[in-house]
Amino acid sequence: MGSILMALGAFLAFFIAYNTYGRFLARRIYRLKKDNPTPAHSQRDDMDYVPTRREVLFGHHYTSIAGTGPIVGPALAVIWGWLPAFLWVVFGSIFLGAVKDFGSLVVSTRSRGRSIGDIASDLINPRVRTLFLLIVFFALWIVIAIFGWVIGSVFQMYPESVFPVWMEVPIALWLGHMVYRRGKSPLRLGLIAVGLMYVTVVIGTWFRIDVSGIFGGYTLTFWIVAFLIYAYIASTLPVWRLLQPRDYINGHELFIALGLLVLGVLVAHPKVVAPMVDLHPQGAPPIIPMMFVVVACGAISGFHSLVGSGTSSKQLDRETDAQLIGYGSMLLEGVLAVLVLVAVAAGLGAAEWPSRYASWATAQGLGAKVAAFVDGSANMIGALGIPRPIALTIMGVFVASFASTTLDTATRIQRYVVTELASAYKVKVLTRRHPATMVAVGTAAGLALWQLFRGGGGGGGAIILWPLFGTVNQLLAGLALLIISLYLFKRKTPVRYTAIPMAFMLFITGWAMIHNLVGFQAQRNWLLLVMGGVIFILEIWLVLEAYFVFRRKRPVEEEARQV
């Protein structure tokens, strides 16, 4: 299959799926109604609960769930061949990822904007809420720490991206003020804001900010600390001041970047140099079950359910907007994942591919995967006549901007998790915004800077735990589908559309977790073995608790706490 057919075939499949399967779920399974009240209106506080136009919320939700997930996963999974990764991205997005994201958003919206973990207490029991939220806390703990490291690494590799990424903050603050305080059109001003951002991209290409001369070996540490401070500020401001407008700008940036990549494919028509299937790359783990963990956000991700039930459900203006926000955003993430596959499988070219994918060791590593995507994309964009330095800056800014969006959204969600746990156990001080955020940022900073305290560089602690994140994240996706299935089950609504994906994800990622634990034991990595084992036991416990609820077949009851 050529690069053009690969891209166009996926786009057509996603378009058909949104207008058929997505519409079926909206009308027949969830029975969405535009007049149903949403938490954004019933609990409006103009801090976290804010009714938001769907195009603005789409930008926030999409850029929050995307981050670098649909980039690094497919960029590594292509080592097993482009075909397995392509099929999983397309069909996984349509029948698993988008279904889960859609369901998480709807269930949370009908539960006063509470997180999917907190809702578990209603559907199963309060004990399960604690188990679920602890797993969520662990996953977000790693996400916040690792994304600070990712952004710092991008800044080191592409210092031309530093100026544009930081300048996006004042531009977003201006946009939020003009839209929410002055009542201006978000579309018109959003386009102006995007134009200003691309002016900074051109400036940044020639105005490279490299602080290594000042901080030397601690440059990465400096950027990690800087972005954790930013995450604290961004996650405690009212959502309309910075989070929404920045994500709205990033949403436009996404469409521009995707448009450039699609045009690059059409003009350059790069030849696919990656193998169609390679079941045994040098040093790689088995394709089954590990590909379903590696691709992650490109097909299905537990983190997405945290965004949908953490921030997006608090901003949903009308219930019927959930199809676009939940189902549509995941399909668009699938589009990005497919373009990543094209960028690395074809855009790198026959000369670069062997050196980057000679073995699992050479392809592995967040930096290697990000660089493969940025360089491959710049090659394709260059076919449009855009100078390579500017093309590299555009893609570097694209990656860093999305990573920073995920960072501040994850910090905000972690604050909600801390608050929900504190409310359950009556720790009043941690139910307040700033103390809860201090816990969220402080714990992530401790993990990110752990190696620094031991004489190493920043980010080391997060890198140590990163091998656990993939399986924890994907098992969390299975657990989110479990909660959604219970929600439908208690309302006598057909559950097969969520239960079958749930069973697959719990099985395949449970298998992957066991595979990893065996590997940790063989490597005598006792830290990962113990932590992974504890997480796995908690998840099995949670599944068993849910199973007993299914067995009891309780009659349908509208929970007193739900809308």
pLDDT of residue 396: 87
Tokens 């930096």 locate to 367
Helix (H, G, I), strand (E, B) or coil at 51: coil
For residue 523, the tally of other CB atoms under 10 A from its CB is: 10
Please choose, from the candidates 427, 470, 472, 465, the residue with its C-alpha nearest in 3D space to the C-alpha of residue 446.
465
Residue 316, classed as helix, strand or coil, is: strand
Q: Is the dihedral of CA 121, 22, 251, 176 positive or negative?
A: negative
At 511-541, the pLDDT tens digits run: 999 999 999 999 888 888 998 899 889 889 8
Helix (H, G, I), strand (E, B) or coil at 52: strand
| Cβ atoms within 10 Å, residue 123 | 23
Q: Which amino acid is at 181?
A: R
d(CA 176, CA 189): 10
Per the CB < 8 A criterion, the answer to whether 22 and 350 are in contact is: no
Q: What is the structure's pLDDT at 452?
A: 60
Contact present, 88 and 292 (Cβ < 8 Å)? yes
User: What is the overall mean pLDDT for the chain?
Assistant: 88
- Asked whether the beta carbons of 87 and 291 are under 8 A apart, the reply is no
Taking the C-alpha atoms of residue 239 and residue 245, their distance in angstroms, rounded to an integer, is 9
Model pLDDT, residue 506: 93
Bridge partners (DSSP) of residue 169 are: none
pLDDT value, residue 198: 92
pLDDT for the residue numbered 434? 95
Residue that is written with structure tokens 């699992």 in the block: 360
Long-range contacts of 27-32 (CB under 8 A, 24+ apart): 29/488, 29/493, 29/494, 29/497, 30/102, 30/103, 30/106, 30/322, 32/106, 32/319, 32/320, 32/322, 32/323
What are the backbone dihedrals phi and psi of residue 148, each rounded to the nearest 5 degrees, phi first? -60, -40
Residue with tokens 């990005």, as numbered in its chain = 336
Angle between helices 243-268 and 388-424 (to 10 degrees): 140
For 241-265, write each residue's pLDDT tens digit. 998 899 889 888 888 888 888 888 8
Six-digit token string for 50: 């804010």
Q: How far apart are CA 188 and CA 253, in angstroms?
A: 15
Give me the residue label for tokens 């999305």: 402
pTM of the model: 0.89
Alpha helices in 158-209 (DSSP H): 162-180, 186-206
- In contact, 162 and 204? CB cutoff 8 Å: yes
DSSP state of 528: H
Which regions of the chain are under pLDDT 50?
A: 555-563
- Please tell me the predicted confidence (pLDDT) of residue 563: 44
